[in-house]
């Protein structure tokens, strides 16, 4: 234990000393970048890296963008060099020729980023750098290519095997909790009292993934309610008027909010294993928990209805619309239009229930007309569901959902017949995608 407790202390100390004292020099960032990639010794390298990071921290957006352009243009791959190295390698496949190829094939900016990362606390700074890049880069091809290098390295560093799942509770450090408040993306946390209501009661749980090099920055977190039965409305979950449960009396764990925290880690997936691991841990701790289910928004429903010239209905009719949307509305690649559906179905979950009047908040009404959905994580079928979805885009759904979708198709056909000509292309599309 000591070990990693020490780790943290060390990391904090170093970062602090660094952040307070290190002074950026007055040399331009591109010069520092060139020097850092050229540096022979670790000593010199660390000094330059600290200057660069300090300089970057002080830089304005124009300077940052200029720095990114430099990385994108002056520190990219050299096709001629690669071809030469490749030719030499093919002539004589030796350790030396392979090493030469490896060096040539990689843009120097990757080595730059790795060397920057040697500075204690730099990982966080580099994630921030990519956040800037995504914000400033726009559609620029060269900057997007640069982003691929960041992402490539981050995917390696934030490898699932390096992440640590840990519970977030009312006993967690305040500087972590203020980030939970800030990063909650689904159902906003409005105050510290609100946060306490999500964390302190015995029938509430929260878990986050962390990376050891950013120990005070959650990467993604999930909020869980322990309940009796599957809830059908977010208000029933969030209200402080609800009866409190002893965890040992709960039979269901409801994942009612999942939030990514780091924009600079966009595209690097952590959520896949989060739910499964949390479910496994909860099942181990509370053997009475039998059902693991989400209570999820349907963020694209109203937008999609709009695209088909429809408005959200109420009650049963809304559920029919939602089932149709979840099962039939697809992207060109055959996956569902709805991003939340893609996430859970890709994870091997099954669509279990649909609820109208389930999220009456302004955001909930605007996105989905108030509808919400439960995705079920059933340990016995999650791998099979996942594989069918991955291979054939088959969507696992309960008979309830299938029935609602069938009603939607029936209604649509009836409407087609009566109207003869309404949105035929769309209908065809939908069938093709199904």
Q: Terminus-to-terminus CA distance in the chain, angstroms?
A: 52
Q: Which is nearer to its own copies, 390 or 419 (CB)?
A: 390
Q: How far is CA 230 from the centre of its chain?
A: 25
Q: Which is nearer to its own copies, 9 or 310 (CB)?
A: 9
Cα 30-133-137 angle, rounded to 5 deg:
100
E strands of 270-419, at which residues? 291-294, 296-297, 350-355, 372-376
Cα 9-156-277 angle, rounded to 5 deg:
75
The pair of three-digit structure tokens given for residue 166, joined into one six-digit string: 């840990």
Helix (H, G, I), strand (E, B) or coil at 261: coil
Kindly tell me the burial class for residue 190, based on how many C-beta atoms sit within 10 Å of its own C-beta (0-12, 13-18, 19 or more).
exposed
Q: Which is nearer to its own copies, 293 or 382 (CB)?
A: 382
Q: Which residues partner with 297 through β-bridges?
A: 372
Q: Which is nearer to its own copies, 95 or 417 (CB)?
A: 95
Round to whole Å and give the CA distance between 269 and 274.
10
Report, in Å, the least distance between residue 318 CB and its own copies: 31
Q: Which is nearer to its own copies, 263 or 272 (CB)?
A: 272
Report, in Å, the least distance between residue 417 CB and its own copies: 40
Q: Which is nearer to its own copies, 383 or 415 (CB)?
A: 383
Q: What does DSSP assign to residue 201?
A: S
Helix (H, G, I), strand (E, B) or coil at 352: strand
Q: Which is nearer to its own copies, 20 or 417 (CB)?
A: 20
Q: Which is nearer to its own copies, 188 or 360 (CB)?
A: 188
The values of phi and psi at residue 313, to 5°, are: -85, -165
Round to whole Å and give the CA distance between 169 and 198.
9
Report, in Å, the least distance between residue 261 CB and its own copies: 14
Report, in Å, the least distance between residue 86 CB and its own copies: 5
Report, in Å, the least distance between residue 191 CB and its own copies: 8
Cβ atoms of 186 and 297 closer than 8 Å: yes
Report, in Å, the least distance between residue 250 CB and its own copies: 13
Q: What does DSSP assign to residue 267?
A: T
Round to whole Å and give the CA distance between 127 and 145.
16
Report, in Å, the least distance between residue 108 CB and its own copies: 14
Report, in Å, the least distance between residue 205 CB and its own copies: 14
Q: Which is nearer to its own copies, 123 or 227 (CB)?
A: 123
The values of phi and psi at residue 170, to 5°, are: -70, -10
Round to whole Å and give the CA distance between 140 and 122.
26
Phi-psi region of 121 (alpha: psi -120 to 50; beta: other; left: phi over 0): left
Report, in Å, the least distance between residue 51 CB and its own copies: 13
């Amino acid at each position: 234990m000591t070990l990693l407790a020490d780790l943290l202390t060390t990391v904090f100390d170093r970062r602090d000393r660094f952040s307070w004292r290190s002074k950026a020099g007055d040399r331009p960032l591109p010069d520092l970048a060139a020097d850092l990639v050229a540096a022979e010794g670790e000593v010199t390298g660390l000094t330059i890296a600290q200057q660069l990071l300090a300089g970057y921290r002080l830089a304005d957006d124009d300077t940052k963008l200029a720095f990114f352009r430099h990385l994108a243009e002056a520190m990219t791959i050299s096709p001629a060099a690669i071809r030469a190295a490749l030719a030499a390698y093919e002539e004589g496949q030796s350790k030396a020729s392979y090493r030469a190829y490896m060096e040539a094939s990689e843009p120097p900016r990757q080595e730059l980023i790795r060397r920057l990362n040697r500075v204690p606390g730099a990982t966080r700074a580099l994630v921030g750098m990519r956040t800037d890049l995504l914000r400033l880069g726009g559609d620029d091809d060269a900057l997007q290519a640069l982003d691929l290098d960041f992402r490539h390295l981050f995917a390696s560093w934030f490898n699932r095997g390096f992440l640590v799942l840990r519970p977030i509770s009312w006993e967690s450090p305040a500087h972590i909790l203020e980030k939970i408040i800030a990063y909650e993306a689904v159902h906003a946390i409005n105050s510290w009292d609100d946060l306490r209501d999500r964390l302190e009661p015995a029938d509430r749980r929260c878990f986050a993934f962390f990376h050891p090099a950013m120990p005070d920055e959650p990467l993604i977190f999930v909020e869980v309610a322990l309940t009796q039965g599957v809830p059908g409305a977010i208000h029933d979950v969030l209200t402080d008027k609800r009866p409190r449960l002893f965890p040992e009396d709960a039979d269901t764990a409801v994942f009612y909010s999942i939030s990514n925290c780091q924009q600079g880690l966009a595209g690097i997936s952590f959520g896949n294993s989060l739910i499964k691991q949390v479910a496994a841990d909860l099942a181990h701790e509370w053997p009475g928990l039998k059902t693991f289910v989400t209570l999820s928004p349907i963020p694209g429903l109203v937008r999609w209805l709009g695209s088909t010239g429809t408005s959200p209905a109420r009650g049963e009719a809304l559920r029919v619309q939602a089932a149709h949307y979840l099962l039939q509305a697809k992207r060109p690649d055959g996956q569902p239009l709805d991003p939340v559906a893609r996430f859970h179905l890709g994870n091997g979950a099954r669509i279990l229930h649909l609820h109208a009047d389930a999220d009456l908040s302004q955001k909930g009404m605007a996105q989905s007309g108030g509808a919400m959905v439960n995705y079920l994580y059933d340990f016995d079928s999650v791998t099979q569901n996942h594989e069918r979805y991955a291979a054939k885009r088959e969507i696992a759904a309960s008979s309830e959902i299938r029935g609602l979708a069938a009603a939607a198709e029936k209604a649509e056909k009836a409407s087609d017949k009566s109207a003869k000509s309404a949105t035929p292309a769309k209908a065809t599309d939908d069938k093709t995608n199904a």
